[in-house]
Chains A and B, each alone.
Chain A
């Protein structure tokens, strides 16, 4: 407390924070994978209006969209072990990282299922009819005709949601994960120079976010090119 702001410390903290970057990336990537798989399943429940499952999916998505990430994180952290204990699985000794990945994955699933649903709905119904009329089955129609087209539409939004996930990981440190934020907090606690450490973390998030955004724009441009060539 009361120590002056030291500009040089930011650069001293940066390498230390970067050494924990892989945890942040691990959370984001594994949550995206879980989110995509579960999101597709949820979206299909709602699209094909499967009774009960469709309503459950709606409630699940509404809950995930309507409550803050941090509340969900703690509910999974405190609640999941007791729920799983009922069916006889003891996960109390699990690493905290798994809880974080599960929470972010579950959360991402809700948001991604909405993106996927919207993109599937945006494919013209005539495409499905045409596929049926040439004798394709439902599964063939979906996997060969509808899915590839909707993927192109969903891609930009999935990129945005990936970036949002990256920013959300900044909350994982609240349950004691040593990712970039957790490391920044630890540095702050030992040196009393919290603000420098947090600014260094902000720089990492900013640079990483900007790079990813640029990457997504590149992918989008390629996809755009593909879309045009499909039409020709």
Chain B
């Protein structure tokens, strides 16, 4: 079997066309993960009653399960369970009306919240205890302490890790093809269904993923350098 270079270009074009879908699948869970992950991390650091235990259980369970399983469980939960619930409440929508990209986004967000909350928790713990004490002693409330003193300080620690978590999510979004979301991977594969040149399609998808990941890495590197300078300024 010869490697069909021309067909790879065709698949590459198709894959590039679906890059926005993969980017959405990476960025939306990242944003949701940062917002809710911070919340989860704060409940754990401040040892909020009940919530602390709940978030601990959540993180342990989600981190222990592969992303592909989370997505598949949600997908089959949707097609097995949603119609029953919809009938019960007399909703007019059925599971087949729901765009599967939402399932993928929710599934990846569930995963992102768990991993990002661990990153932010690590950041919060890395801030010296004295900082909390100092801001309490000048009369700041807990929320003020967090938003004015602690969160700005964890930025340089957390941002590089968030970038690698973004790369992880971007690569993880390829799993969405299991529930037939048309992302970079499926976009490239669809072109190959007619002529069975799957290898070319996969190589095309790999090139797209690779290039975008390299761009992410570069941006992360620049950001890291920038934030390091900022961190030094604070220490002075």
Contact = CB atoms under 8 A, between A and B. Distances in A.
Contact of A194 (B70, B76, B83, B217): B76
B66 A195 contact: no
A135 B232 CA distance: 42
B72 interface: yes
B127 interface: no
Interface string A193-227: 11100110110011001100000000000000000
A62 interface: yes
Interface residues of A, number: 38
B80 A5 contact: yes
Nearest to A171: B68
B156 interface: no
Nearest to A194: B76
Contact of B68 (A67, A170, A209): A170
Consensus secondary structure, chain B interface: helix
Interface string A159-180: 0000000011011001000000
Nearest to A167: B66
B151 interface: no
Contact of B77 (A71, A195, A201, A205): A195
B222 to A, nearest CB: 17
Interface stretch (B31-39, B142-150, B202-210): B202-210
A67 B206 CA distance: 6
A24 to B, nearest CB: 11
Contact of B199 (A65, A72, A78): A78
A13 to B, nearest CB: 13
B72 A78 contact: no
Contact of B66 (A67, A72, A194, A205): A205
Given A2-B80, A5-B80, A71-B205, A205 B175 contact: no
7 contacts: A3-B80, A67-B171, A67-B206, A68-B174, A170-B69, A188-B76, A195-B76
